Amino acid sequence: MGRLDGKVALISGAARGQGACHARMMAQEGASVVLGDIVDDEGQQVADAISASGGKATYVHLNVTSEADWSAAVAKAEQVYGKLNVLVNNAGILIRSSIEETTEDDFDRIMAINVKGVFMGTKHALPAMRKAGGGSIINISSTAGLVGSSGETAAYTATKGSVRLLTKATAVQHAKEQIRCNSIHPGPIKTDMIKEMLESPELLEKRMQRLPLKRIGQPEDISYGVIYLASDESSFVTGSELVIDGGTTAE
């Protein structure tokens, strides 16, 4: 018996990396998963692989900055699986640039994907979850949403701090409807988002000095947290911050 039996989950940014891992592991725990992304071929391949291994998965094109795409993605979940119980706002980008060198276009782009995307996903998931009698919204923030960074990631930090407080606002405003909302704050995870650091011995060593567990996290480390927050095991958890960072923010 899976921890997510009977749950229907919509996951943004699910074609590769962290999002694909969420989709695979949630399906293994019994969830029916709807994978949303803009790289359609890769997303369909992940969905097909989940289905081939006995899981339930459907792919939908989802540009998280598009309200129409969000509306269609939620409708797809309800059409195929009859309801929506879980939303994982996973899609996000990282732009490395100092404040003075960050262009207006880059700032607008990262805000649109990392913040507007979470807002729009939440907006369109709420009515479906209300119909389902409740649900769980899981927003992927970052340790950058908790503390400042000496790296050139000020715009990214601003977006992840926004996600953190949007999570709390959602939680308190919709608790009466049994719709929970929590944020996850990963440390460095082995995905393409930190490829530049992983390929640079100098940058990697510098990061390791601020990492008590002395290892880069794996996508599965975060997916286990997603599964917990999606499951009924966390039924008394809302508005919280689940930090999965190898001890980074403990020092």
User: What residues are annotated to the active site?
Assistant: 156
Extended beta strands in the chain, E state = 8-12, 32-37, 56-61, 86-89, 135-140, 179-186, 241-244
Percent helix / strand / coil, the chain, rounded to 5 = 50, 15, 30
In this structure, are residues 84 and 128 in contact, taking their beta carbons and an 8 Å threshold?
yes
Closest CA to 140 of 5, 22, 6: 22
Where do the DSSP E strands lie in 69-205? 86-89, 135-140, 179-186
* Strand arrangement, sheet containing 56-61: 56-61, 32-37, 8-12, 86-89, 135-140, 179-186, 241-244
**How far is residue 242's CA from residue 222's CA, in Å, rounded to a whole number?**
10
Token pair belonging to 199:
């390929």
